[in-house]
Amino acid sequence: MQAIIMAAGKGSRLGTLTMGKPKSFAEIHGKKLIEYNLKLLQKYQVEDIIIVTGYNCEAFEELTKDMEHVRLIYNPFYEMVNVLGSFYMGMEALQDDFIYLHADTICEPSIFEKLIHIKKEVDILLPVDERPCDEEAMKVRSEQGRIVQITKQMPIEHADGEFIGMAAFRKEVIPALKAKTKELLKEKKFNEYFESAIQRLLEEEHFQVKTVPTEGAFWAEIDFMEDYQRAAANMPSSLLELFL
């Protein structure tokens, strides 16, 4: 299994937590956000990890210089494109079942384990926090057990929950996912999120896309200072124990 980590962000909204460092270098309990994800991947023996970098790529080069199973791909256009553009830069390295994740999002091992053990009858597995969403959330809507929409633009009253920004994909999905990503960028949709490619798969392909509820397990996307403070206050021991 492979993993691809989106790590091009600057994190200017985190103020003094980054101070010239990449967004995912913000630390909680003395460990960088990206280090939590690298430790989770190590725990579950994912041995081909692609990190798409952008802002201050040299920091990632230094961090991973002795990590045998990590490859860095630089996105020189990180200031001009959203996450979809970073995925485009790294997608040619994908050839096996893979985990997709953001370097600034962390979760309990119990969530991550469900992604690692994606079943053959499921093509795409999306962890969803089934709770009321705010406007900023990447919202998900389903009908009769099938996901039909994933977007931030969805009215909050239509959402069934929030996609947490980590997902598992079977290798059979890769050609179609690459095609939809390229299609969006050819349409000059440079500000789109990666989930826009998933939405096109939902509309135009016949893959089995399943959600898995987080069931109250800890996860956090660190965009603002209040996200950081909430994550620091609620960090579970299962994540801290990864470093023991």
pLDDT in tens, the chain (244 residues): 999 999 998 887 887 788 889 999 999 999 999 999 999 999 999 999 999 999 999 999 999 999 999 999 999 999 999 999 999 999 999 999 999 999 999 999 999 999 998 888 899 999 999 999 999 899 999 887 678 999 999 999 999 999 999 999 999 999 999 999 999 999 999 999 999 999 999 998 889 999 999 999 999 999 999 999 999 999 999 999 999 8
Distance of CA 135 to the CA centre of its chain: 19
- pLDDT at position 147: 86
- pLDDT at position 31: 96
Contacts made by residues 115-119, CB under 8 angstroms, sequence distance 24+: 115/166, 115/167, 115/168, 115/212, 116/1, 116/44, 116/46, 116/168, 118/168, 118/169, 118/170
- Give how far Cα 161 sits from Cα of 65, 146, 150, 212, 220, Å: 38, 13, 10, 11, 15
- pLDDT at position 145: 66
H-only helix segments in 2-73: 33-43, 57-64
- pLDDT at position 170: 96
For the chain, how big is the Rg over CA atoms in Å?
17
C-beta of residue 180 within 8 angstroms of C-beta of residue 167: no
Length of the chain measured in residues: 244
Q: How far apart are CA 168 and CA 186, in angstroms?
A: 25
- pLDDT at position 13: 81
